């Protein structure tokens, strides 16, 4: 409706003898200021017509309220907001529905803040959007999707607690505790770098990190890439390995299966291999510290 009125106004302006204004808006406004606002004016700018402009807006990601219902996704094909290919080799593939995963395991219900709670696993299923399996858990009056751990079965009860006691907790697989409450050497996944932010590390199928040591208020974890990371001990983490451990042993078998996964063939152009190719053996990068430690100032 709005577009139609713009179009008719523009076309009407083309038929009149007055030239269309192409200068800046300020000139237009000062020139037309004496006119009354209610009058439809003759001048109109030249108009652009471009189709398919809604494609560069990800409208399906705008939902704020959490739901367990799968949401329809729109594939980008590796294109960014300008419409050009930014990442090659992405496109096609089976249609997928996005299930909103709750990565912040320590999310209390509105009425029961700061109390450790249990949740029951209702269903463990395949998720097309990631390599790991996902589990629907129900606790209190709400249900949510989380990343499933290795031996999670429907009917299990998993615990989430934010209490750090003096003694380390003997954690069962699938439970979520802060790093300070776990014994050193335990396998962990879904690691939070900053407390309360939600887990961003160790979420892929079959991965697990190792809690190496705990140093006054912080904990050092080895990520699956052997990189070591120092985070606050109040960061939440789940115990065990992520589900679908045989994911890296699967055989694709044919090119078609890669296409079903949305992976397009790479460029066939032969490129001379330079310094970027080949196996590199480097020392481990230094440990990444995500804690603002007080600096030692010489007094």
Helical (H) or strand (E) element with 297: none
| 59 scored as a contact of other proteins (CB under 8 A) | yes
Closest distance of CB 5 from other proteins, Å: 7
The single residue among 15, 17, 19, 53 that binds other proteins, judged by CB under 8 A, is 53
Count how many Cα atoms sit within 13 Å of the Cα of residue 142 in the half-sphere of its side chain: 15
For the CB of residue 56, give the shortest distance to other proteins in the complex, in Å. Answer: 7
Q: Please give the size of the binding site for other proteins, defined by CB under 8 A.
A: 51
Contacts of 35 (CB under 8 A, 6+ apart): 41
Q: State the Cα torsion 218-223-227-230 to the nearest 10°.
A: -10
Task: Round to whole Å and give the CA distance between 189 and 242.
Answer: 7
The answer to whether 141 contacts other proteins (rule: CB under 8 A) is: yes
Contact partners, residue 124, CB within 8 Å, separation at least 6: 133, 134, 135, 136, 148, 152, 153, 154, 243
- Which letter does DSSP use for residue 223 in this model? -
Give the C-alpha separation, 109 to 115, whole Å.
9
Shortest reach from residue 137's CB to other proteins, in Å: 9
| Least distance between other proteins and beta carbon 271 (Å) | 31
Q: Is 40 in the site for other proteins (CB under 8 A)?
A: yes
What tokens does 293 get?
């430690």
Of 32 and 193, CB closest to other proteins: 32
* Residue 245 touching other proteins (CB under 8 A): no
265-294: contacts with other proteins (CB under 8 A) = none
Query: From CA 52, how far away is CA 49, in angstroms rounded?
Result: 10
Q: Say whether residue 51 binds other proteins (CB under 8 A).
A: yes
Contact between 139 and other proteins (CB under 8 A)?
yes
Residues numbered 87 to 126 that lie near other proteins (CB under 8 A) are 117-120, 122
Residues 155-184 that bind other proteins (CB under 8 A): 157
Q: Give the closest residue to 182 by CA, choosing from 159, 202, 204, 154.
A: 159
Query: What burial class does residue 137 get, using C-beta atoms within 10 Å of its C-beta: 0-12 exposed, 13-18 middle, 19+ buried?
Result: buried
30 touches other proteins (CB under 8 A):
yes
In the complex, least distance from residue 124 CB atom to other proteins, rounded to whole angstroms: 15
Closest contact distance (angstroms) between CB of 160 and other proteins is 10
Is position 35 an interface residue for other proteins (rule: CB under 8 A)?
yes
Q: Contact residues for other proteins (CB under 8 A)? A: 1-3, 5-7, 10, 22, 25, 28-30, 32-33, 35, 37-38, 40-41, 43-54, 56-57, 59-60, 62, 81-83, 117-120, 122, 138-143, 157
């Amino acid at each position: 409706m709005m577009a139609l009125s713009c179009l008719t106004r523009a076309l009407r302006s083309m038929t009149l003898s007055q030239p269309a204004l192409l200068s800046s808006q300020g000139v237009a406004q000062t020139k037309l200021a004496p006119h009354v606002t209610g009058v439809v004016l003759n001048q109109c700018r030249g108009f652009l017509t471009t189709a398919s402009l809604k494609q560069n807006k990800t409208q399906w990601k705008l939902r704020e309220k959490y739901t367990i219902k799968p949401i329809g996704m729109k594939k980008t094909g590796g294109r960014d907001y300008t419409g050009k290919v930014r990442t090659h080799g992405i496109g096609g593939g089976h249609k997928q529905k996005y299930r909103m995963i709750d990565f912040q395991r320590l999310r209390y219900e509105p009425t029961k803040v700061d109390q450790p709670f249990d949740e029951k696993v209702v269903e463990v299923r395949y998720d097309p959007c990631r390599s790991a399996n996902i589990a629907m858990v129900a606790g209190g009056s709400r249900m949510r999707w989380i990343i499933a751990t290795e031996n999670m079965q429907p009917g299990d009860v998993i615990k989430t607690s934010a209490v750090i006691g003096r003694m380390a907790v003997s954690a069962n697989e699938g439970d979520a505790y802060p790093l300070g409450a776990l014994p050193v050497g335990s396998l962990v996944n879904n690691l939070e770098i900053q407390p309360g932010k939600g887990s961003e590390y160790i979420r892929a199928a079959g991965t697990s990190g190792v809690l190496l040591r705990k140093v006054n208020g912080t904990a050092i974890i080895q990520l699956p890439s052997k990189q070591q990371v120092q985070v606050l001990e109040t960061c939440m983490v789940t115990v065990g390995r992520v589900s679908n451990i045989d994911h890296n042993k699967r055989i694709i078998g044919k090119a078609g299966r890669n296409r079903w996964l949305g992976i397009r063939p790479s460029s066939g152009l032969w490129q001379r291999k330079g310094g970027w190719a080949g196996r590199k053996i480097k020392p481990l990068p230094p440990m990444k510290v995500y804690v603002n430690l007080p600096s030692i100032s010489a007094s």
